[in-house]
Amino acid sequence: MSMEIAKRLAELKESLPDGVTLVAVSKTKDDSAIMEAYEAGHRVFGENRVQELTAKYERLPKDIQWHMIGHLQRNKVKYLAPFVSLIQGVDSPRLLREIDKRGRQAGRVIDCLLQVHIAEEDSKFGFDREELEELLAGGSLREMEHVRVRGMMGMATFTDNTAQVRREFASLKALYDRWLEADPRADILSMGMSGDYRIALEEGSNMVRIGSSIFGARD
Ligand SMILES: *Cc1c(COP(=O)(O)O)cnc(C)c1O
């Protein structure tokens, strides 16, 4: 086995400030790649497809904390509810209600992040500012005993314009701070990927989702 993955992982962890959680994004990567990171001591992995995530959960060590980082359809929540550690891409109140229902059935409280739309590209899913305010004001969160909103996640526009990326991350940090005023238990701000995580950290991220810088480029 090459030790490239373990080496890149170690360098990356070394460079991250204390208190920042690294989610190793293993989508499309095979079990041996994941196990190399696992043997190096890493336990938090992110996947963006339900089928791939559940298959890997079944095959791989049970102390791995699996994060669902992609768009999640309501009819697939039931497959993740028994084991998922964090659902990062909650992009609607209806999805949140479905997670609550499936969490109840599984006898768990499921940790979630609200995905917020910050990119100028309009192809990305997520809440906008008004929808967040509505969710906070509406009171429905209090009735959902089987979901716990731990904070927010967002993706910046895919661009070389670093000023724009910084602006978008700053806007998410502001929304997160606003949310914290109403719900001081929130503690996760997930922003930053291989190409932009340094900017994200400067703008207040405490969780980065990194794939290609650890595992190499995806096909
Ligand atoms: C794929 C993916 C990542 C990781 O992207 P890299 O550029 O490989 O680091 C992070 N977040 C989400 C939501 C992703 O889908």
Give the 3-state secondary structure of 34-80: HHHHHHCCCCEEEECCHHHHHHHHHHCCCCCEEEECCCCCHHHHHHH
Cα(25) to ligand 1 centroid in Å equals 6
- pTM, full prediction: 0.96
Antiparallel, parallel or unpaired: β 65-68 and 86-90: parallel
Task: Report, as ranges of residue numbers, the positions in the chain whose pLDDT lies below 50.
Answer: none
Atom of ligand 1 nearest to the CA of 89: 13
CA 87 remoteness from chain centre: 7
Residues in contact with ligand 1 by the CB-under-6-Å rule are 25, 27, 48, 69-70, 155, 193-195, 209-213
What's the confidence (pLDDT) of residue 152? 97
What's the confidence (pLDDT) of residue 116? 94
What is the per-residue pLDDT across 145-189, written as a single tens digit (0 to 9) for each?
999 999 999 999 999 999 999 999 999 999 999 999 988 889 999
In angstroms, the CA 54 to CA 31 distance is 13
Cα(81) to ligand 1 centroid in Å equals 22
What's the confidence (pLDDT) of residue 121? 73
What's the confidence (pLDDT) of residue 136? 86
CATH annotation of 4-207: 3.20.20.10
What's the confidence (pLDDT) of residue 2? 65
Report domain extents, the chain: 4-207
Atom of ligand 1 nearest to the CA of 88: 13
What's the confidence (pLDDT) of residue 128? 87
Cα(181) to ligand 1 centroid in Å equals 29
